[in-house]
Amino acid sequence: MATANDAAALIEESKRLAAFQAVADHLSPSYRHIGIGSGSTVVHVVAAISSLSPSITSAMTFYPTGAQSEALIEDAGLRLAYINKLPPGVQLDVCFDGADEVDSALNLIKGGGACLWQEKIVASAAKKFVCVADFRKISEGGLGTEWKKGVPIEVLPMAAPRVLDELKRLGAQGAKIRSGLPGKAGACVTDNGLWIVDAVFKPLLAKAEEGYEDGKDGVWTVDGLADKLIKIPGVAEIGLFYGKSGLEVESGAQKPVAAYFGMADGSVKVQTLEKGLV
Ligand SMILES: O=C[C@H](O)[C@H](O)[C@H](O)COP(=O)(O)O
């Protein structure tokens, strides 16, 4: 019988498979500017990049999405720079990052590790954002069916009570300020010095259905809810990556062009808007 350790090892291996395949498919030796996300799957992205010849990686510069990814880049001996130093008009060639859940339209929940704001800045600065995840992140029933902890929302601490009130009015089934425990008493504090509110909604629709009234009975489309959340005073950024992908717009895309999933059977599946999950 499989033990908890076996299950953990299987998940870790699936992360590794997804990351190595994504790097093999999307990191061209000609690339110069690479965004590195946050979380546990992206650790394998950096390992995959580090396994390449230094003659390739020494010509590249890597841009972090927070303290963890900054340390990943430094510890791997890769050239580190910051997105505010990217010359005006220059985009990242590619950004690799994880996700907490991915729906059929490549909308993402991100922020499980409280890094969403810088992640969205870096992902949207890239010509193409490539998502890497393990099989648990595949959402067939809409965002919120697999990731049940709620949509992470980065907020100004003094606005948190008002944000919680507004979330209730928008039909949130539950919303709370993320605790810093076990590491830190009190609220979780992000790399930007702000707080995270996690708001649980009914599973989000990837697309509006015919004649559908968004938000009725607390059921939202991803885009409909995102547009409401981002406008709440005191909200800095939201952990919904939605709208367009780098294949659809020149710049500013939040959605990945592809999502790589390591599967429990050792295979890797790739999801794109064109072909779905194959
Ligand atoms: O805030 C954290 C980021 O959005 C992560 O990319 C996301 O939580 C996925 O993390 P992991 O790769 O550890 O599942």
pLDDT value of position 251: 92
Q: Is the pLDDT of residue 248 over 80?
A: yes
pLDDT value of position 3: 87
4-139+242-277 and 151-239 in the same fold: no
Sign of CA dihedral 72, 75, 80, 82: positive
* Domain 4-139+242-277 class in CATH: alpha beta
- Which helix (H) or strand (E) element contains residue 131? strand 129-134
Mean pLDDT (whole number) for 172-186: 97
Q: Is the pLDDT of residue 77 over 90?
A: yes
Query: Which pair of tokens denotes residue 111?
Result: 């922020």
pLDDT value of position 245: 94
User: Which strands, in side-by-side order, build the sheet including 235-238?
Assistant: 174-177, 195-200, 151-155, 235-238
Mean of per-residue pLDDT scores for the chain: 97
Mean pLDDT (whole number) for 5-15: 95
Nearest to 132 by CA among 87, 94, 99, 86: 99
Q: Is the pLDDT of residue 2 over 80?
A: no
Q: Is the pLDDT of residue 211 over 90?
A: no
Q: Is the CB of 103 under 6 A from ligand 1?
A: no
Instruction: Give the HSE-up count for residue 190: Cα atoms under 13 Å, Cβ half-sphere.
Output: 27
> Would you kindly state where each structural domain of the chain is located, as residue ranges?
4-139+242-277, 151-239
**Confidence class for position 200, pLDDT limits 50, 70, 90:** very high
**Confidence class for position 233, pLDDT limits 50, 70, 90:** very high
Task: List Cβ neighbours of 119 (8 Å cut-off, separation of 6 or more).
Answer: 37, 38, 65, 66, 97, 110, 111
Which amino acid does the sequence have at 148? K
Q: Is the CB of 14 under 6 A from ligand 1?
A: no
Ligand 1 centroid from CA 114, angstroms: 8
As a whole number of Å, the end-to-end CA separation of the chain is 30
pLDDT value of position 212: 83
Q: Which of 6-10, 197-201, 234-238 has the lowest mean pLDDT?
A: 6-10
pLDDT value of position 185: 96
Which amino acid does the sequence have at 51? S
Which ipTM value was assigned to this complex? 0.99
Ligand 1 centroid from CA 187, angstroms: 19
Q: How many CB atoms lie within 10 A of CB 30?
A: 9
> pLDDT tens across 93-148, in order?
999 999 999 999 999 999 999 999 999 999 999 999 999 999 999 999 999 999 99
Q: Is the CB of 97 under 6 A from ligand 1?
A: yes
Superfamily assignment of 151-239 in CATH?
A: ACT domain (3.30.70.260)
pLDDT value of position 209: 78
Tell the residue nearest (CA) to atom 3 of ligand 1. 111
Q: Is the CB of 99 under 6 A from ligand 1?
A: yes
